[in-house]
Amino acid sequence: MLKNIEVNSKFWNDRQRVIKDQMIPYQWEVINDLKKIDIAVTNTGGDTSAQDSDKSYVVENFLIAAGKKQGKRGGMVFQDSDAYKWLEAAAYSLECFPDSDLQKKADELVQIIADAQESDGYLNTYFTVNEPDRKYQSLYMSHELYCAGHFIEAAVAYFKATGNKLVLEVAQKLADNIDNHFGPEEGKIHGSDGHEEIELALLRLYELTSQERYLKLAKYLLEIRGQDSEFFLKQQKNDVALGRKSLIQGLEILHKDFNAQYFQADRPVDEQVEAKGHAVRVVYLCSALALGAALSGCDKLKQSAYNYWNNIVGRRMYLTGAIGSTCHGEAFSADYDLPNDSIYGETCASVGLTFFANYMLRLNKDGVYGDVMERALYNTVLGGMNLDGKGYFYVNPLEVRPEYSKKNPGLIHVLTRRAHWFACACCPPNLARMVMSIGHYAYQCSDETNTIFADLYMANKAEFELSGNKVVIEEQTSYPWDADITFKVQEAPEQGFNFALRIPQWAQNYQVELNGTLVSDFKIEQGFLYLASPVGSGDVIKLHLDMPIDVVEANPLISADYGKVAVMRGPMVYCVEQCDNGAQLQCLHLGELKDLSGSFEQDVLEGIYQIKAQGLRRINDFALDSSLYRKATPAHYEAQEITLIPYYAWCNREEGEMRVWLNPKP
């Protein structure tokens, strides 16, 4: 297992330091209402006029629940999770950059949360303060187990980083409370939460504590979903009969969209063959299915994970690793329905897809999962924040025209400047915990085969416990800007260990050296290169991957991209912006692959590999007669140099149009 990792990658360190120095302190002020901010309202449904635009209520809610402050509990029903994700991001930050002031703040938050926990272990400020008689009775939208899951995940991370015993005690009391209320036994609740998250959290708690009851409960909550397709409907009808208000202001309890498919509960998980409903819910469920299968060996969970993976990645994922094509319910729609301008592509959904891919790698050592993991990370996840860490995207489009976003109600969810915060603020802290924990995605280990797998390339120094022995590896690389990667084995047992390197699908050519000698004695198996012999102390392995500029096309069944092309280099998707190329980006034609060239530009967008293309722009001669339509005539073009930048870096300069998919050479 990976015991410790120090990430030395300039690319990732730059982003981690922005999060440490800007995002985490900024978010601390936000959740404590110490900073007056404008809170953007996302198109998540409900009465947006009822959502505050200048206050988060997050920590205040815990103080009220603990009886330490008087007042009205505010914010969304799931507001507690903002504190938990901040705590998890702080935990990973402390792993990377020890900081006594940050740890003091985090310890204070842990104590506040502990004070708000009820004596039986129940923890949720909304139901403690507002509706104590409604606990676990409105699971379709209560987010009780969702919030509990986020706290448990934060507790596991914080305990590992700091050894804080209180946070683990609170987490176990909470998990035990859930175990006392949910399960197959008579008198317990035979169902789960409307928003998956607790399942993954319980599995992580099991890994930490080795308490079998947490594995058993997680597996139960996965397998019970969809066994009774009317479970949530029954709770909804009961709430209506009792005259209860909706937990989301402005939405009816019996809203037609809150059906079993929306909650992935129309059939049992092993019968699900496509991703349906709320995209974040789906990938949180998938992450738990994959990790649950890896930990338990359950074939049913394993097959369910594969079914979801094949549908999402094969038919419902954007080029950038974004998922969730419609703002209506933040949901998946249909196979190949991937519009670029009205996409939802929630940042949280790509964070969840990264989790899913990582746990699929753990379940089955196939490099395709690493390919998708880095696709989501380097594009949509990183695109969810400004380079300065002070602005965030909830929605991640592949095509933007600011005027349309401002004037077309169907596109109002597509922001053209990143917001400072959101009323539904799940994405910023989710992104923060993801980036701060990036080192945990670099490797996987197998004691069974005495193998270390290099999954995600970045400069680092890592310590492992492999088959009971200590291994220390230093990795040197400038990835993702180039793909020359050197591994130096600093410590290993006498018998050595096996080493496997992921070969991305975009790398058509590669070579590997061992101690300065080109190696041909290796095997490629499911996207990994396995060295023929064990490596040991003092060995140096060099991997060179060709990282060309590629022009890619989409499956013709994706009508939004039919006849279009996009540019990639390595894991990164590229886009064009108005500030580089002028307005009316739809008139640009890329040119041929030979017309593209690139170079690393240190002074552009804090350092990027920029691509230049000798392309064309269609001359708009419609302007001569101001007509909308006419008989088709030959088009005329003028030469234009086209500048492309990595997708994650867009919207960091002046506001303007952006586009990923372009016209090919006419």
Q: Model confidence over 307-317: pLDDT tens digits? A: 999 999 999 99
Catalytic position from the list 196, 330, 374, 399 = 330
Question: Within 13 Å and on the Cβ side, how many CA atoms surround 571?
Answer: 27
Does the pLDDT of residue 622 top 90, yes or no? no
pLDDT value for 29: 92
Question: Within 13 Å and on the Cβ side, how many CA atoms surround 367?
Answer: 19
Strand order in the sheet with 540-545: 2-7, 460-466, 469-477, 484-491, 540-545, 510-514, 517-519
Please provide the average confidence, as pLDDT, over all residues in the chain. 95
Does the pLDDT of residue 48 top 90, yes or no? no
Q: What are phi and psi of 474, to 5 degrees?
A: -110, 130
Dihedral sign, Cα of residue 526, residue 531, residue 532, residue 533? negative
Does the pLDDT of residue 49 top 60, yes or no? no
pLDDT value for 67: 97
pLDDT value for 425: 72
pLDDT value for 53: 55
Contacts of 443 (CB under 8 A, 6+ apart): 2, 5, 452, 453, 454, 455, 462, 464
Q: How does pLDDT run across 365-408, given as a tens digit for each residue?
A: 999 999 999 999 999 999 999 999 889 999 999 999 999 999 99
pTM of the model: 0.96
Interior angle at CA 264, CA 232 and CA 327, nearest 5: 100
Residues in the chain: 666
Does the pLDDT of residue 46 top 90, yes or no? no
Question: What DSSP state is assigned to residue 409?
Answer: G
| Residue 598: its H or E element | strand 596-601
Pairing of strands 517-519, 510-514: antiparallel
Tokens of 10: 């300039």
pLDDT value for 368: 98
Radius of gyration, CA atoms only, the chain: 25
pLDDT value for 47: 42
* Strand ranges inside 350-450, DSSP E: 399-400, 443-446
Please confirm, yes or no, whether 330 is among the known catalytic residues: yes
Q: What is the percent of the chain where pLDDT is above 90?
A: 91
Catalytic position from the list 426, 427, 587, 651 = 426
Q: What are phi and psi of 344, to 5 degrees?
A: -95, -60
| Residue 577: its H or E element | strand 572-577
As to burial, measured by CB atoms within 10 angstroms (0-12 exposed, 13-18 middle, 19+ buried), residue 75 is buried
Model confidence band, residue 50 (pLDDT cutoffs 50, 70, 90): very low
Model confidence band, residue 40 (pLDDT cutoffs 50, 70, 90): low
Model confidence band, residue 422 (pLDDT cutoffs 50, 70, 90): confident
Does the pLDDT of residue 231 top 60, yes or no? yes
Please confirm, yes or no, whether 426 is among the known catalytic residues: yes
Region 315-331: mean pLDDT is: 96
Model confidence band, residue 39 (pLDDT cutoffs 50, 70, 90): low
Of residues 207 and 251, more confidence is placed in 207
Region 179-192: mean pLDDT is: 97
Residue from 122, 100, 258 nearest 182 by CA: 122
Does the pLDDT of residue 355 top 80, yes or no? yes
Model confidence band, residue 423 (pLDDT cutoffs 50, 70, 90): confident
* Strand ranges inside 96-190, DSSP E: none
Does the pLDDT of residue 52 top 90, yes or no? no
What gap in Å lies between CA 538 and CA 561, rounded to an integer?
Answer: 50
Model confidence band, residue 656 (pLDDT cutoffs 50, 70, 90): very high
